[in-house]
Structure 1
Amino acid sequence: MSGATLATGPRIPKHDAETRGEKYDRRAGDTAGLGGIMGSLRVIELQLVAFIIVFSASGLVPIVDLVFPVFLTIYAFLLNSLVFPNYGNPESLQVFRGNRLFQVYVILGTVIGLFLPLAYVLGGFARNDQDAVRAATPHLFLLSFQVLSENLISGLNIFSVPVRALLPILYSIRRLFSLNGWVISTWFTTNITNDVRIQDEYWIWFGRVLSAANAIYYTINTFGFLIPMFLPRAFESYFQDRAEYKQEHPKQEKTSAGIHLPSKLPVPSLLRKDNPVEEDKKK
């Protein structure tokens, strides 16, 4: 949830018998395979897919939010191919060990960001409150896409460490704009009149508190956890893995014409000290 599933490491079993070089040579896509895909598509993830389809077809999600996951997926593949190639170390993203406080933090984010907003949207449909549904749906749509992407990335491990760290940050920054619209809708657009029923007043305050809680939580999550803590450790782990990979797989030097030359050239027999022709001349 919001980078936490990636920060605690991918769902790939660790093989103690492998050497360091074998881990680099074995790509995660080969190890995960079909079992990794089916293992990641659990019940909750299938429900997220259903939410995404319903939200997309409902017309309640702005076109910018609909296009954003597609753009981010293409951008991630370009970064992974051109800028940050994957060196195939599945343990690189285990930057946090997941103590109890961190688990409480993750559960709190799941409840505030996913379960309660989903109940709020369903309640809005039941009450025929289109304004409440329209204000909260973009956040739910983007968060569903983000959670689904994190679980698939964690299971397949096809992206490099920096790309996997940047994805939840970019999703969170985009969702902050959606949360800003939700806060404005509940706190400044919706007014409580004197003749409002007590049930309607509770409903309005529920939307206000929920939108504010999401805005506060994900602002702290983005600028207090993902950027200052998760991202630097991910880059540090990536550059360390890249340095070790280059040490174990030294590249051959290239000439200006692009011809590979070995690091040590063979010495011609005429130039060697034990040249038999030179020995005969001396005799």
Structure 2
Amino acid sequence: MSGGVGPCSDISLPTDEHFEQDKNQTKNSQKKPQQNGKFVTFRQLNVLAIIIIFSSSGMVSLEDFAFVLFSLIYIYFISKIAFPPINSPEPPVFGENNKILNLYVSIGALIGLFLPIAYIFHGIYEGDKEGIKAAAPHVFLLASQVFMEGVTFTDRFSLPIRVFVPVFYNSRRIFTIMEWLRIEISKVDQEYGGNMRRVYIGRGLAVANMVFWCFNLFGFLLPVYLPKAFKIYYSNRKLKD
């Protein structure tokens, strides 16, 4: 989970190469906006493959498809109406080399994406259709979030738009995780005949994701990252005016 996504991401950080490019661009021309993110990155291709696989398998509901489509339309709308891009480089919100934040987003990627994907593939082997169906919406939306973060980390979108993506998707995914946890708990009531160890693993993953992403939204994105990002954006607008 590295490269191609801006510092506003709740599960990803930009690589050192992006920072070096930003420094060089700033030295060469202070008036020229950043041009990074023109092409689809390797990570975006990976999550796009996840999106396509989950979509074609029938594990994703029409509501989740509609949510992703709406987010794309709404992002474009508010980028034109409310938060137009500023034609000047925007500094990273948390600095260039934040080891704590790197560790934090790595844990988020492990808990939110890699382990649930492994859980789903194991469920295919075990025949746990309910567990697969419960975990799939969260993975699909998180993969869509990573892809959308890559889309917005260009000079065509302002910093508030990059904030909007993780906040918007994180809020939606909390409800899918709640449903995931409910289904895992109800397996015993329905006399689940599969591997009970898998039931405990599923519950643990659902609880871990609930705790992590609730803290991420209410303890990091809204009270910490959002104010800092808006302060940078409006400070740059004042300087431009």
What TM-score results when the alignment is normalised by the length of structure 1?
A: 0.74
What's the offset of the Cα at 1:66? 0.8
What's the offset of the Cα at 1:210? 0.5
| Range 93-102 or range 76-85, more displaced | 93-102
Q: Which residue of 2 aligns with 1:168?
A: 166
What is the CA deviation profile of residues 102-122 of structure 1, one whole-angstrom value per residue up to 9, with x for unaligned ones? 222111111100110000010
CA contact (8 A) 2:90 2:159 kept: no
Who wins on radius of gyration, i.e. which is larger?
1
1:27 maps to amino acid? P
Q: Which residue of 2 aligns with 1:74?
A: 73
Computed over aligned residues only, the root mean square deviation of the Cα atoms, in angstroms, reads 2.6
Q: Which residue of 1 aligns with 2:6?
A: none
CA contact (8 A) 2:181 2:203 kept: yes
What TM-score results when the alignment is normalised by the length of structure 2?
A: 0.87
Change (3 A) 1:15 1:109: closer
Change (3 A) 1:149 1:193: closer
Q: Which residue of 1 aligns with 2:188?
A: 191
Percent of aligned positions that are identical: 32
Q: Which residue of 1 aligns with 2:55?
A: 56
Structure 1, unaligned runs of 5 or more? 247-283
CA contact (8 A) 1:92 1:234 kept: no
- The SS at the match of 1:11 is helix
What does 1:1-283 correspond to in 2, within 5 Å?
2-5=9-12, 11=18, 13-15=21-23, 18=26, 22-23=29-30, 25-28=31-34, 31-32=35-36, 36-38=37-39, 40-42=40-42, 44-154=43-153, 156-187=154-185, 189-191=186-188, 200-246=195-241
CA contact (8 A) 1:192 1:201 kept: no
CA contact (8 A) 2:134 2:180 kept: yes
2:238 maps to amino acid? A
Q: What CA distance in whole angstroms lies between the structure 2 residues aligned with 1:60 and 1:18?
A: 45
1:160 maps to amino acid? S
Change (3 A) 1:194 1:136: closer
Q: What CA distance in whole angstroms lies between the structure 1 residues aligned with 2:118 and 2:197?
A: 14
Structure 2, unaligned runs of 5 or more? 2-8
Q: What CA distance in whole angstroms lies between the structure 2 residues aligned with 1:78 and 1:11?
A: 27
CA contact (8 A) 1:3 1:150 kept: no
1:37 maps to amino acid? K
Q: What CA distance in whole angstroms lies between the structure 2 residues aligned with 1:85 and 1:174?
A: 25
Q: What CA distance in whole angstroms lies between the structure 2 residues aligned with 1:195 and 1:108?
A: 30
2:188 maps to amino acid? N
Q: What CA distance in whole angstroms lies between the structure 2 residues aligned with 1:161 and 1:102?
A: 18
Size of the aligned set, in residue pairs, is 233
1:63 maps to amino acid? L
What's the offset of the Cα at 1:151? 2.6
